[in-house]
Structure formats: C-alpha cells, structure tokens
Amino acid sequence: MNGLYLVTPDWDDTQKLLAVTEAALRGGAALVQYRHKTASPMLRREQASGLLALCRRHACPLIINDYVDLCLALDADGVHVGGKDESVAAIRAQVGPEKIVGASCYGSMELAREAYRSGASYIAFGGFYPSLVKKYPVTTSPDIIAQAKLEIALPSVVIGGMTAQNAKPLVAQGADMVAAISSVYLAVDAEAAAREFVQLFASLRGASA
C-alpha cells in the first residue's frame, strides 16, 4: 500500500462521483474508500457498485467505510473501521483473512497496537490538519508516524485536511498513504490533483532510495 488513498465525499450525484473518481484514478490514486454517511441504502449500493466496477477497470482496490454487509454483498476489497464501529477483530471474523481491514487510530498508539493485534491490514492516523469534511480535534502529533514505523509492521495512512504540500513531512516520516477528500474532489482538475500526490511519493521515496 503506497500513494494516494482517495476517500469519497457525501455526494448524492452518482454520475458526478464516478466521473471525478475516474479522473483521480487516471491520475494514479492507489486505493478508493467509499464513504457516504447520509446515503440511503439504495443509493449506497448504487454508488458502491459503480465505484467497484470503475476500480476493477483501473486495478484499484475499493474498500467500504463501515458497511460490512455491503462489502460482502458486492465482494468489494475490504472495510474501513471507525472508532465507534465494530471492533477490528469482529470485522476480520466476518470478512475472512483475504479482505483489507483498515482501522482509524486517531492519535493513539494504543489503538494502533490493538488494531495490529486484532488483524488490521493498515492503521490510519489523524486529523493532522483542519478538514473541510470531517469534524474532529486537530490533535494528532506528526511524530506518531515515525513511532508507528518502529513498533508496528503495518502500512500507515494519514488523514485530515491533506494536500500534497502539507502531507510532505508526514510522508517523509514514513506514512505509506495519504487520504484525501476535498483536495481531489473539489479540485478544478481531479486528475492533476491526484497526480500531485503521486509525484510527492515518487520524489520522497526516490530521494530516500
């Protein structure tokens, strides 16, 4: 797991959602998470199905935020677990060993350690910066990325107000993926915005190689 982790906004316009997502995939997005907190079950299934077909064409994993039943019904690639959702262990038991299970760990190394012990595929930290979409305390220390790299053998994702510019120090500390919503979906050119994140990883990984 490496690069741009695309998280969808709460858009009800499915065609717009698919069009912008496809542009970001052309730009090099490495993983897509379908997240729509206010969608009806019918809309959620419609959008997730469309995104899954799109991701399959681009050989990109699609994971579903929260809805394990939807992931299993569509045979999506995995589930992301928030702090108020079912435990990582419970989700892992439902989806089996092959699916991706991601865990929100906020700014807590203890949550990250527990996610690792429970079978998570990756750990997500944040918020690091103010977000236009998600409301949370901006209290996560950048130092947690380097600490996690030393302790936990899982890929790490950073989230919260991410741009290609402000994500740079976090990627330099070892973040494997940068999760973005507004900086891609609200960009004038989503493909170019995605490519900027890809270039960030290429430049830093190349410099450290």
User: In sequence order, what are the residues at sequence separation of 6 or more whose Cβ sits closer than 8 angstroms to the Cβ of residue 140?
Assistant: 106, 107, 125, 126, 127, 128, 160
Among candidate residues 35, 92, 99, 195, the one labeled active-site is: 35
User: In sequence order, what are the residues at sequence separation of 6 or more whose Cβ sits closer than 8 angstroms to the Cβ of residue 119?
Assistant: 88, 89, 92, 101
104 catalytic, yes or no? Answer: yes
45 catalytic, yes or no? Answer: no
Among candidate residues 26, 134, 149, 168, the one labeled active-site is: 134
| CA angle, 65 then 104 then 144, to 5° | 150
The secondary structure element, H or E, covering residue 116 is helix 109-117
Angle at which helix 190-208 crosses helix 14-26, to 10 degrees, equals 30
The secondary structure element, H or E, covering residue 46 is helix 41-57
141 catalytic, yes or no? Answer: no
In 3D, which of 138, 160, 159, 156 has the Cα closest to residue 147?
A: 156
- β pairing state of 122-125 and 100-106: parallel
Among candidate residues 99, 104, 156, 195, the one labeled active-site is: 104
Which of the residues are catalytic?
35, 104, 134
